[in-house]
Structure 1
Amino acid sequence: MSSYAPTLFFFREDMMAAMMENGHEIIAAAPESEEEWADKFKERNIKYVSIKGIERTSTNPIKDVIGFFSILKSITKEKPEKIFTYQAKTVIYGCIAAKIAGVKKIYALMGGLGSVFRNNKKSFARNIMKIEYNVAFKYCDKVFFQNKDDSKEMLDIGLVKKEQIVMINGSGVNMIKFSEKPIPKEPVFLFIGRIIKDKGVAEYIEAAEIVKEKYSEAKIQIVGYFDTNPTAIKKEEIQPYIDKGIIEYLGSTDDVRPFLERCSVFVLPSYHEGTPKSVLEAMATGRPIITTDAPGCRETVVDGVNGFLVPVKNSKVLAEKMIWMIEHREEAEIMGQKSLEICKEKFDVNKVNEVILKTMEL
């Protein structure tokens, strides 16, 4: 269960396939309409049900109550033996509804603590979420975490018990679907992600200005969609930089592989992550990485080995490392090879799914 159908369809396809290979029936649930998604999931032999009312970025309590009862209705109707849920609202309401409906085994995945939880330690919304997580996790058999920073924080504030925690290396990456590709000779930097402040888009653009002053031939690209997240950036805010040729906005896509193939360095200056899947996919194609020394992001890079870790919200250091990549092409290519090695060893989706299925006794 997720609060956004595309992440279920694209990010959890290997996990659901592994479950089915072991003889289990899968039902996928998310807020988006059955008219839009049921046939797509059916092609993968997965039933899809819509849980109406859940809006991942809404702060309307009435909609959340409607969403909770929609989840409860769906779980009561489908009668699953086990439930796996992720993303904040579906974790909270899904786990509580599952307990009420009598589901035998309940599992939650924390893909990241999110902007509401991370950005303001004293906010009213964060305090409400703490209470909600506290209730939801009481009903969980296990809670999967993708990085030690998140698990430690939730443990320290008493929202989860140590014996509930299971660590996994992100969502993993399909090493067949994402395979090594030659690095192009020209300097092409690529960011893939939601266009929100918490992904470090503003710092990326500021760094692009610095890089372009010295190396005008460098291409600095963005692939992603404009979200409704509390830290969302509107297209008109980045349009002047597009018009000046500082960045290239390439739109959104369901298949990032062609963009990864054409880049020489992958950049994600995010403020926090679970473990960024975009970085893992770039690593699988053999790209050096520049990301932040932040929760989740630091799980993917050994500084100076397969890329660089830079301080959060520091466009100057980010630009310095981007320029280093241009001026040290051979070393950058070696870093790309190290990314691939680390990815094979640590982030192969089969290894990640093995932990999940074993924990869930599937």
Structure 2
Amino acid sequence: MPKTIALIAHHAGSLLNFRGDWIRDLCASGARVLCLAPDYRDEDRAAVRGLGAEPVDYSLQRTGMNPVRDLRDAWALMRLLRRVQPDATFAFSTKPVIYGTLAAWAARVPRRVAMIEGVGFVFTDGDQPLGWKRRVLRRVVAWLYRLALSRAHRVIFLNPDDRREFEVRGLVPADRGVVLGGIGVDLDAWTPAPPVRDPVTFLLVARLLREKGIVEYVQAAREVRSRHPGVRFLLLGGLDSNPGGLARAEVQSWVDEGVLEWPGHVDVRPWLAQASVFVLPSWREGVPRSTQEAMAMGRPVITTDAPGCRETIEDGVNGFRVPVRDASALAQAMLGFVQEPERIEIMGAASRRLAEERFDVRRVNALLSEWLLQGTAGVIQRGRA
């Protein structure tokens, strides 16, 4: 009897960009895969069907805390899951993990798996003391996580720091959490590009959130360009409605100043081919996919000594780690590549080697499938609980 799997996402793009290879593998194994997302476009539906899966609409407000709306959406999702009767659910991103897992539990789905891809805005300490609103929000989200994750059979983390924090806070039972170590990339699709030394070019790819370290990147770029005006700085990514989102006017002012180029939300691959070094000065991550892609393309990396970021770097081998929110240290690491451009090729080759060792999507997908489907055969044979 083929298994029915429901993947619960916060938007269709994340299913295609970050789960596409896995969806294809699951379908090829004979599973019926339902891809739940709240914002399908016609082209997204066609792409999901092209992978062999079925696009399914459901209601979800990705950002914001409207408890009435969230409860109504969770109830509707529970009814949807009861109707389609999956053998397993896999939820990722904050709201799908919380409300999707609770809905799956209420719908009596036999196997429920959640992935924590990062602790998110609520648990990431900012550059200002926590205000009362943020403290209240943190407590509410912690309570919701505790409620939902106690009803998951498996909770997948991308790095050990996140797992440790959730366990210390009592948000997940100690016997439920496992560490994946990165969602992986297709190493056959993301192949090494020739190193770029003239001009030395730095690239940051991220949603335009303050906690991604974008302000520090701009400050470091100013410092480097004051000594080497020919150095190029690129910023890729779209504006975001999250609380830490940067305003368009602020980003445009950096472009007008001539500090960096900002083409917006575009295909990353051709821009990585133009880059010498990938930079991600984030305050905290799961294990960033953007860094894995850069490593696969043979790019050295400068990132922070923060949870999720440090997992991508062997300091001094494939790049450098710098302290969080330290623009001066970031500038010094950049200057190392400007002053010794031979590092670009040497460290880029080391990045590719590490990507092959740690971030091969085939190995990652096999592990995800094992954790998702573990025990479902027995459940199917015995009948639904």
Rounded to whole Å, the distance in 2 between the matches of 1:93 and 1:6 is 19
Does residue 331 of structure 1 match 2:343?
Answer: yes
Matched-pair contact (CA < 8 Å) for 2:24–2:52: no
Residue type of the alignment partner of 1:9:
L
CA shift, 1:35, in A, is 4.6
Matching residue's letter, 1:312: V
After superposition, where does 1:1-362 map in structure 2 within 5 Å? 1-33=8-40, 35=42, 37-52=44-59, 54-119=60-125, 120=130, 123-186=135-198, 187-253=200-266, 255-361=267-373
Q: Say how many residue pairs are matched.
A: 360
- List structure 1 segments (4+ residues) > 6 angstroms apart after TM superposition: none
Q: Distance in 2 between matches of 1:342 and 1:82?
A: 33
> Cα offset for 1:65?
1.7
Cα distance in 2 between the residues matched to 1:177 and 1:19:
19
Shift in Å, 1:245: 1.1
Work out the CA distance in 1 between the residues paired with 2:87 and 2:41.
22
Give the SS at the match of 2:373. Answer: coil
Give the aligned partner of residue 377 of structure 2: none
- Residue 179 of structure 1 contacts residue 284 of structure 1 at CA under 8 Å; is this kept in 2? yes
- 1:34–1:50 contact (8 Å) kept in structure 2: no
CA contact (8 A) 2:27 2:33 kept: yes
Any conservation in 1 of the 2:163–2:178 contact (CA below 8 Å)?
no
How many Å separate the matches in 2 of 1:98 and 1:291?
37
For residue 319 of structure 2, what is the amino acid of its counterpart?
G
Aligned residue identity for 2:97: V
User: Is the contact made by 1:190 and 1:260 (CA closer than 8 Å) also made in structure 2?
Assistant: yes
For residues 142 and 179 of structure 1, the distance between their equivalents in structure 2, rounded to whole angstroms, comes to 33
Aligned-residue offset at 1:102: 1.0
Give TM-score, length-normalised by structure 1.
0.96
- CA–CA separation in structure 1 for the residues paired with 2:254 and 2:106: 51
1:185 maps to a residue whose letter is: R
- Superposition deviation, residue 38 in structure 1: 2.1
Alpha-carbon offset, residue 34 of structure 1? 5.8
Q: Which moved more, 1:117-126 or 1:71-80?
A: 117-126
In the superposition, the TM-score normalised over structure 2's length comes to 0.91
Q: State the shift of 1:74 in Å.
A: 2.0
Give ranges in structure 2 of 5+ residues lacking alignment.
Answer: 1-7, 375-385
Q: Deviation per CA, 1:110-157, whole angstroms, max 9, x where unpaired?
A: 000001122359711110111111111111111111001100001111
Question: What is the deviation of 1:55?
Answer: 1.9
CA contact (8 A) 1:34 1:49 kept: no
Shift of 1:161: 2.0
Return the letter of the residue paired with 1:21. Answer: A
Structure 1 position 69, deviation (Å): 2.0
Shift of 1:166: 1.6
TM-fit CA distance, 1:162: 2.4
Q: Sort the Cα spacing of 1:63 and 1:249 in 2 relative to 1 into closer, same or farther, 3 A.
A: same
Residue identity (%): 35
In the alignment, structure 1 segments of 5+ residues that lack a partner are none
Which SS does the other structure have where 1:229 is aligned? coil
* Conserved? CA contact 2:305–2:322, under 8 Å: yes
Structure 1 residues 158-167 or 191-200, which shifts more? Answer: 158-167
Shift of 1:100: 0.7
How many angstroms does 1:360 deviate by?
2.1
Q: Is the 8 A contact 2:223 2:331 kept in 1?
A: yes
* Secondary structure at the counterpart of residue 272 of structure 2: helix
What per-residue deviation string (whole Å, max 9, x for no partner) do you get for residues 144-177 of structure 1? 1100110000111111122211211211111011
Deviations 1:18-39 (A, max 9, x none): 2112111111011114656322
**CA offset digits 1:220-261 (Å, max 9, x no partner):** 0001000001100011012222112111111112x3110111
CA contact (8 A) 2:284 2:307 kept: yes
